[in-house]
Amino acid sequence: MKHDDCLFCKIIDGELPSAKVYEDDHVYAFMDISQVTTGHTLVIPKVHTRDIYETPADVASELFARIPKIAQAIKKVYNPIGLNLLNNNEILAGQTVFHLHIHIIPRYGEDDGFDLKWVTRNDEFTMEKLEEIAEKIKGAIE
């Protein structure tokens, strides 16, 4: 189920080069060409799926199931202080390649190159408001 214009499908097929760290029937993992921190790895399903919305549960489970062992390997080699997993969906959220991927970003310190701005609004979101939001989402789960 390759997608003709997809960069990552081409990487899986070997049409484009990559620094591979792991491959099996379901998943391919390789070094991000723009390393945010040393060991920054991308993990992708072999089946083309655009983003999290289009990803069937079985593809998601196979993909996520491989992440602990790849993360453990990175930890073994580079011994980072921390590690972030990141998945961007749509342009606003920073998605630039439209084949689902999880970034594994080992962390070495506050100024290691990775930054996630995170502004919380606890005053605005009371428990009542949270329950109202939860009800809406709950009702939409299929």
Which 72-101 positions form the footprint of Zn ion (CB under 5 A)?
99
Tell me if 92 contacts ligand AMP by CB under 6 A: no
Tell me if 84 contacts ligand AMP by CB under 6 A: no
- Amino acid identity of residue 60, one-letter, is A
Question: Among residues 3 and 103, whose Cβ is nearest to Zn ion?
Answer: 3
Which tokens belong to 24? 């099996």
3-class secondary structure, 123: coil
Q: Give Cα 124 distance to the centre of its chain.
A: 29
Tell me if 46 contacts Zn ion by CB under 5 A: no
Residue 30 per-residue DSSP state: E
Q: Active-site residue numbers? A: 101
Tell me if 95 contacts ligand AMP by CB under 6 A: yes
Which tokens belong to 75? 């930890």
Which 6-45 positions form the footprint of Zn ion (CB under 5 A)?
6, 8-9
